[in-house]
Amino acid sequence: MSLFGEVHHYVAEYGYVAVAAGIMLEDFGLPAPGESLLITGAIIASRGTLDIRLLLIFAWAGAVIGDNIGFCIGHFGGHRLMVRYGNRIGITQERLDSVTRTFQRYGDWVIVFARFIVILRQLNGIVAGTLEMHWARFLVLNAIGAALWVGFWGTLAHWLGRRIFAVLAAVAQYEPLVVALAIAAVALALGVHLLWRYLRVRGRRRSDQG
């Protein structure tokens, strides 16, 4: 089964909890498809199976909780713990250094936009905790960033999903006509091809006889 198929299965099976849990796990460094779960959930919600408002609330809560868990890991575990055990889940020294340099260059406000970049989304809480950022400031900036990220991807996927399914429904309505036209086109193309081959062979024979 493809990644999209697996994500769709979990969202269809467990709904809001699957989306919130996946985002939460991704946001403290685990290799979970949080963004894919959010987008898939929003597309499913466009069909009326899920409530998009509840989905966005659950996704936002999962994002905030996940980053705060990461903050606690970084704050109480420290950089040394991340380097020692983080490579088991893909947290390498190079990635930590890259995120740390980003924090040092752009300041605390990088947390607001960190979610839109894969590595920053996974490690911004851990690095903020490691750098001993004040927790209340992190909480506010993280909540704002989570709202922007969830709102953007959730709303966009929901909007596109509604239009995609509307187009598919319209296509399904005219499916017999589309199939008939396709068969006619194939038959016409085959007929032209056979006629061209016949004329070509006939021309060669005349040339040989002459």
CA dihedral sign of residues 13, 35, 43, 182: negative
Which regions in the chain score pLDDT beneath 50?
none
**Residue of 30, 34, 32, 25 lying closest to 65 (CA atoms):** 25
Kindly report, residue by residue over 46-83, the tens digit of the pLDDT.
888 889 999 999 999 999 999 999 999 888 876 666 66
Q: What is the C-alpha to C-alpha distance for residues 30 and 53, in angstroms, rounded to an integer?
A: 26
By the 8 A CB rule, do 37 and 18 touch? yes
CA 112 to chain CA centroid, nearest Å: 19
pTM of the model: 0.71
Task: Report whether 123 contacts 96 (CB < 8 A).
Answer: yes
Contact 25, 34 (CB under 8 A): yes
CB 16 within 8 A of CB 58: yes
Distance CA 131, CA 110 (A): 14
At 57 the pLDDT is 96
Nearest to 103 by CA among 62, 60, 132: 132
DSSP state of 74: I
- Give the pLDDT confidence score for residue 170 in this predicted structure: 58
Count the alpha carbons within 13 Å of 17 in the hemisphere toward its beta carbon: 3
**CA R_g for the chain:** 27
Asked if 178 and 171 touch (Cβ cutoff 8 Å), the reply is yes
For the chain, what are the domain ranges?
Answer: 3-169, 174-209
